[in-house]
Structure 1
Amino acid sequence: MNAAGDADPRHLSFASALAAARAVRRAEHGRQAYRTVRPEGTMGWFRARGPLSVLLVVAAREGRLVWRGPDSFALLKPPMTMDEPYTAGGLRFLLLRIVDRRWETLCFAGPAGLAVLAALGCVPLHLWRTAIVLVLLGLLHVTVCMTGLVATGLRGLLRTFRRRRDGELAAESLPARQWSMPLCHELDAGRAGELMREVSDRLSRLVDRRVRAASESQGGQPNGVFVTEVLLCLVTGITTDAMREAVPRQQRVGLPFGVGTDVVVLEPRDQVPGRPPRTFNTANFFLWYVFGCAGVLLMLAYLVADQERRSCADRCAGRPTGYGDALRWLGQRLLLSDPPDLRPQSPGMALLGWLVSIMALMAIPVAAVALQQVWRAADRMNRRFDKEAEAVLARRKILLLVATLDEQRATLDVFRRHGSEPYPERRPPHTVHRLGTVAGAELMLASAVGDPSSPAGVAQVATSIIGQWRPHYLVLVGTCFGLRPRERTLGGLHSGEQALGDIVVSRQARDVAHQAVTEVDGEPHRLDRGPRPSPSAELLGVLGAAADSWSGSGLHIGPIVGATTLYRSDEAIAELRRRHPDAVAGDMESHLLNGVAAEHKVDWIAVRGISDWGTADKSDAHRHQAAVNATEFVLHAIELGLLSHATGTG
């Protein structure tokens, strides 16, 4: 149950919708938000959308309303060509959708249509003057509306040639072709991040649902949907100053037109190369005008014929007394003339004919405005937005992978200390933490907790996660055991330069579990036969460059040996050091990365923190700090910006 008492936001009550509309109206920028969510119509006299309360009820029914109460909600609006069918949800929502989407049409056609119907009702009662007055009033209403249409079009044409900011142009025209957020009302700016995450999740589910429905209608069944829609957030639709300052600071919110403009964008859940084109038509009001004029003529023909029959007595030759003749006369008036053999003589018919001619003349500027609307849809602002959107979709995505929940907690702690607000996002069967954007790269954290007794355990989980989230780079962070301790001797071998908490970057990942055993001079001789893949040369170069400016724990770059063996033995570690004297560390996961990454063509590397030495006295006392140190170094390297515009193979 939410704050407004609605158990299910999809069935928002009118009482709650009215309370929300009043809350918006009382807000700091309520009037401007009203004008944004209910923009001026093409005629200038009416709003293009229905009352806000109706709009909210319809949006809730269609799942486009992120509702947390009358003081906390956001409205999503689809592109022009992607509205829900009118009939979805039954007769009640059919009527509500008509009121919402065709408000201007109702305000235009309603009074004129009622006037004509009332005039027709006067005909059987022989109230001719009343009928003519009603028809003239209806035509006057249409004429005034059409005058407003021309004036609005001319005003828009003048604005086109006036120097305007790209953000202003984007806010005006892009919602026709882009999912947008025209209204955001939140009184507590501290909850902006939570609300924007809900908006992002709702948009992903809406797009996912529509893609699946479209596929199923064509006899298909999609296997996963990658949501690449960029949400256009209209700043003028945000109702308070505090929220207008807070929204641009949230994770995955971009500023394609700079700070302080009318538009910010919420980046998509997924990124893929390129941006699919979307076609649309913004001139359909011209067709509405043509159809409206045709309907008016069809009704007027009946009135003209009836009036002429009653007034001509025995002298009806050359007068439009039949419905067909009346329609032909009205059609000729569209060409500003009368048929040579046909002319009405009843009072008021001459004025009626000239009003019809004016209606025909109005079609010329209406058509010009329609063409101007189509031209504006392809102007430079759209091209700039597409360029910015492509840059967002091409942003580098870096997946940090850990093998245990302890390593996950350590990684999250690091990002929280650096001011990030990680949050989980579930895509069954996995959950990934979004860590935010650092130096133009998007970071995510996943935990590949599998069965450590089998090489397929962690590898299978990691494969599934990478297949779902499609990162460009894969970095394994967490802990390992060191092979070159500074303060002790292992198996009689000399001490090294490592300390607990030091960081190891893999130059090679050796699988030491695959061996061949032969007999030499009566003694068993072991020969390693496992693969020795090298990580991404690009990532190794980036981390090597970051080492020059690193001032934290000790850093070591070299081979890491890997096996699904949990080492807790001095003798086993000494044997491992004798077989691999150049190795710097060992773990249970690094050697699995190459196969996983190669399958998805993802660049990979392992960065681990030394938590123990793999000996009999090992403990978990340094595990958390070791994982923290490894993550700190990875974050340091990313902050240098060397991966923001790189060319990972993912």
Structure 2
Amino acid sequence: MNTQHPVIVLMSVNDTETHALLDAFIGLGLPPVQVTKGGRTYNDLGIHGGCSIVHTICEMGAGGVGASQQRTSEAIEHWQPKAIIAVGIAFGMDEKKQAIGDVLVSTQIQDYELGRLNEDGTLTPRGDKPSSSDTLRNRFRQTDNTESRRVGDWPKVRFGLLLTGQKLVDNKDYRESLKAISQEAIGGEMEGIGLYVGAEIAKVDWIIVKAICDWGHNKSRAEKDAWQKVAAKNAARVVKTALDVDGLYGGVTAHPVSSLQAIVAEARPNPIALGLWQKKLAFLQQEEALAVDPVQRFSILQRIEEAKAKIQEFGGCL
């Protein structure tokens, strides 16, 4: 692990989020290098944009054992990072104006647990609305503006207030009550307040980047797995693209002369990998032609685009 570069810690919760991050940063299906510090095991995701990227997995929520506040504090102690980013999936607030896979970037967060329960049953929030790091917000805004002009399939990225709390929201009436608390909220998740508390105490930059995988109700629907994969992949893609640009926290990617041979070899076509991805593309195109269910077809189309990108990456033509 090269700690001469500025360190940025990425945090995920479930397997879908974790695998999406690993696929984005080290390659599809490849195992990460593990590093243990202070009894905690991390994944070394390499140097990106001149920064060392470290990954930690936390338990669901903010305040329990192994949850986001504890993991944030531990990662800060072990790595002295410049920033910590929570990456993964969230629930959206408006099915009519938002879409599954839209990426939500926190400009502020609000704890929906802390408040006053009024006589009429309404809740008046009493927590503040801390703002995420200006440095990170700026990087993500710049990345979104650039990539939306450069790439045709760039995800929709929405910046705004994220609600955060300990409850797994799976009830439409409750989600609507949260919307009433804050009309400006773009979505909700469960780890943000722990991330904020741990980072704020140590004066470390933080931000949340999570994509919409459901609407805070009817979470057990048939599309659940497919929607979570799309959301996690989009969030990981946005984070990877943003961190690939040099200069964040002074990090610069260096290519020493001794590494030139490895760089050239990496750029050469890989016939074995190319052949595997070409076979996978052909199979997926057959599956897409037979698919009737729109959700299944959507998932297959996402995988087809991934296969096409990999074929081009390994020197093939479409």
Q: TM over 0.5, yes or no?
A: yes
Instruction: Answer 1 or 2: which has greater helix percent.
Output: 1
Q: Deviations over 1:563-597 (max 9, x none)?
A: 10011111111121122111001000112222100
Letter in 2 for 1:593: L
Q: Which has the larger radius of gyration?
A: 1
Q: 1:604 Cα deviation (Å)?
A: 0.5
CA contact (8 A) 1:420 1:435 kept: no
Q: Judging changes above 3 Å, is the alpha-carbon distance between structure 1 residues 570 and 466 closer, same or farther for their aligned structure 2 residues?
A: same
1:468 to 67, 78, 90: 78
Identical pairs, percent: 27
**Is 1:544 matched up with 2:151?**
no
How far apart in 2 are the matches of 1:525 and 1:500?
29
Q: 1:547 Cα deviation (Å)?
A: 0.9
**Is 1:477 matched up with 2:77?**
no
CA contact (8 A) 1:561 1:591 kept: no
1:517 aligned partner:
117
**Runs of 5+ consecutive residues of structure 2 not aligned to the other structure:** 149-153, 252-318
Q: 1:609 Cα deviation (Å)?
A: 1.3
Matches within 5 A, 1:340-489: 393=4, 395-417=5-27, 422-449=32-59, 454=64, 457-485=67-95
2:238 aligned partner:
633
Q: Judging changes above 3 Å, is the alpha-carbon distance between structure 1 residues 621 and 577 closer, same or farther for their aligned structure 2 residues?
A: same
1:528 aligned partner:
125
CA contact (8 A) 1:439 1:644 kept: no
**Is 1:506 matched up with 2:106?**
yes
CA contact (8 A) 1:421 1:435 kept: no
How far apart in 1 are the matches of 2:60 and 2:178?
25
**Is 1:612 matched up with 2:222?**
no
2:268 aligned partner:
none
Q: Deviations over 1:440-476 (max 9, x none)?
A: 1111111122566749833123212221122111111
Q: Judging changes above 3 Å, is the alpha-carbon distance between structure 1 residues 506 and 449 closer, same or farther for their aligned structure 2 residues?
A: same
How far apart in 1 are the matches of 2:39 and 2:76?
12
How far apart in 1 are the matches of 2:66 and 2:48?
32
Q: Judging changes above 3 Å, is the alpha-carbon distance between structure 1 residues 532 and 549 closer, same or farther for their aligned structure 2 residues?
A: same
Instruction: Answer 1 or 2: which has greater strand percent.
Output: 2
CA contact (8 A) 1:399 1:446 kept: yes
CA contact (8 A) 2:62 2:69 kept: no
Q: Deviations over 1:582-633 (max 9, x none)?
A: 1001000112222100122210101001111111245333112211211111
Letter in 1 for 2:70: Q
Specify the SS of the correspondent of 1:524: coil
By relative contact order (CA 8 Å, sep 6+), the higher-ranking structure is: 2
Letter in 1 for 2:172: D
Q: Judging changes above 3 Å, is the alpha-carbon distance between structure 1 residues 409 and 533 closer, same or farther for their aligned structure 2 residues?
A: same
Specify the SS of the correspondent of 2:94: coil
Specify the SS of the correspondent of 1:398: strand
Letter in 2 for 1:506: S
CA contact (8 A) 1:509 1:561 kept: yes
How far apart in 1 are the matches of 2:65 and 2:57?
16
CA contact (8 A) 2:99 2:212 kept: yes
Q: Deviations over 1:39-68 (max 9, x none)?
A: xxxxxxxxxxxxxxxxxxxxxxxxxxxxxx
Q: Judging changes above 3 Å, is the alpha-carbon distance between structure 1 residues 611 and 451 closer, same or farther for their aligned structure 2 residues?
A: closer
CA contact (8 A) 1:402 1:408 kept: yes
How far apart in 2 are the matches of 1:555 and 1:642?
22
Matches within 5 A, 1:569-580: 569-580=171-182
How far apart in 1 are the matches of 2:234 and 2:146?
15
CA contact (8 A) 1:421 1:436 kept: no
CA contact (8 A) 2:109 2:130 kept: yes
Q: 1:406 Cα deviation (Å)?
A: 2.9
Count of residues in Structure 1 that have an aligned counterpart in Structure 2:
243
Specify the SS of the correspondent of 1:630: helix
How far apart in 2 are the matches of 1:560 and 1:455?
23
How far apart in 2 are the matches of 1:403 and 1:429?
19
Q: Judging changes above 3 Å, is the alpha-carbon distance between structure 1 residues 531 and 456 closer, same or farther for their aligned structure 2 residues?
A: farther
- Aligned Cα root-mean-square deviation (Å): 2.3
Q: Judging changes above 3 Å, is the alpha-carbon distance between structure 1 residues 455 and 517 closer, same or farther for their aligned structure 2 residues?
A: farther
Letter in 1 for 2:117: V
Q: Deviations over 1:23-48 (max 9, x none)?
A: xxxxxxxxxxxxxxxxxxxxxxxxxx
Specify the SS of the correspondent of 1:622: helix
Q: Judging changes above 3 Å, is the alpha-carbon distance between structure 1 residues 405 and 615 closer, same or farther for their aligned structure 2 residues?
A: same
Specify the SS of the correspondent of 1:604: strand
Q: Deviations over 1:304-327 (max 9, x none)?
A: xxxxxxxxxxxxxxxxxxxxxxxx
Letter in 1 for 2:239: V
Q: Deviations over 1:354-378 (max 9, x none)?
A: xxxxxxxxxxxxxxxxxxxxxxxxx
1:123 aligned partner:
none
CA contact (8 A) 2:90 2:212 kept: yes
Specify the SS of the correspondent of 1:479: strand
Q: Judging changes above 3 Å, is the alpha-carbon distance between structure 1 residues 616 and 452 closer, same or farther for their aligned structure 2 residues?
A: farther
Letter in 1 for 2:78: Q
Letter in 2 for 1:557: F
